[in-house]
Amino acid sequence: MGGIVYHDVTERKWAEKGLAGGVHGLIAVNDRAGGHAGPKSTAQLLDELGDLGVPLVCAGGVGDAAGFVAALRMGYAGVQMGTRFIATDECGAHADYKQAIVAATEADIVHTERVTGVPLAVIRTPYVERIGLKAGPIARWMLRGRRTKHWMRTIYALRSAWQLKRASLAGGAREATSKDYWQAGKSVAGIDRVEPAGAIVRRFAAAALSASGTAKTARPRE
Ligand SMILES: Cc1cc2nc3c(=O)[nH]c(=O)nc-3n(C[C@H](O)[C@H](O)[C@H](O)COP(=O)(O)O)c2cc1C
């Protein structure tokens, strides 16, 4: 009762479906996002969803204050960040996972279908190298069928759930990281330390405020 619902979307057809269901805003999940990334860029999604009349939140690729300000300047109402907040003191993830985010560059982020059946953004590790990025022929065939795709996703999900839990909570160093994978987006590029979540929020808010101040002073006189 009285809740506000923002719906994750990767393209217009899902946005229209969400709006028909009464959502209040949309989270535009782009091709740089951690977790299940979409196929489209930050700019493409803004073009595609910008006329729908609800606030749009950018999800994917924002790891530093400059990226945050850039998304707001483009026209997004806000930014949803995942990867940035994993590398915080408060996050319960293992220190190895946080350090992997800090150490990773954009080029270390790959999309694998072999965890859930749909592209999942993860840090390239020996485990990811071993399982590969594309679903195998049988899995691909199953993923095409209306009913079989649910079975295949369930198989992937069950297999990966315990692996992810073990990798993220128990750390991977003890097994030479050979079985580990960590979800993260290309926002790793802007993340250079583990820090308190509040410090991130304050820094990003200050950057946005100062950018809006600059925009005001830069506005031509009428
Ligand atoms: C480890 C991890 C788990 C995630 N799990 C979910 C999830 O269960 N449901 C969801 O809608 N989005 C999930 N996301 C996506 C985030 O909500 C967010 O859209 C995304 O992290 C934004 O990209 P960024 O990681 O570059 O900031 C997850 C992201 C990460 C990194």
pLDDT tens digits along 71-105: 999 999 999 999 999 999 999 999 999 999 999 99
Residue 27: predicted pLDDT: 98
- Structure-token pair, residue 154: 């369930």
Pick the atom of ligand 1 nearest to 84's CA: 27
Q: Find the helix or strand (DSSP H, E) in which 46 lies.
A: helix 42-49
* Atom of ligand 1 at shortest range from CA of 185: 26
Distance 216 CA to ligand 1 centre (A): 33
Ligand 1 pocket mutation pick from 42, 62, 83, 201 by most atoms within 8 angstroms of CB:
83
Average pLDDT on 196-213 reads 95
Which protein residue's CA is at the shortest distance from atom 6 of ligand 1? 35
Residues 47-75: tens digit of each pLDDT: 999 999 999 999 999 999 999 999 999 99
Tell me which residue of 131, 155, 125 sits closest to 143, measured CA to CA. 155
Instruction: Give backbone dihedrals phi and psi of 43, rounded to 5 degrees, phi first.
Output: -70, -40
Q: How far is the CA of 215 from the centre of ligand 1 (A)?
A: 31
Whether 61 lines ligand 1, by a CB cut-off of 6 Å, is yes
pLDDT band at 178 (very low <50, low <70, confident <90, very high): very low
- pLDDT tens per residue, range 102-151: 999 999 999 998 877 788 999 998 888 887 787 777 777 777 788 888 88
Q: How far is the CA of 120 from the centre of ligand 1 (A)?
A: 10
Neighbour count for residue 181 (Cβ, 10 Å): 28
Non-local (6+) Cβ contacts of 83 within 8 A are 34, 63, 101, 183, 184, 185, 187, 188, 191
- Better-predicted residue by pLDDT, 156 or 187: 187
pLDDT at 145: 81
Say how many Å lie between the CA of residue 150 and the centre of ligand 1: 21
| Nearest protein CA to atom 18 of ligand 1, as residue | 82
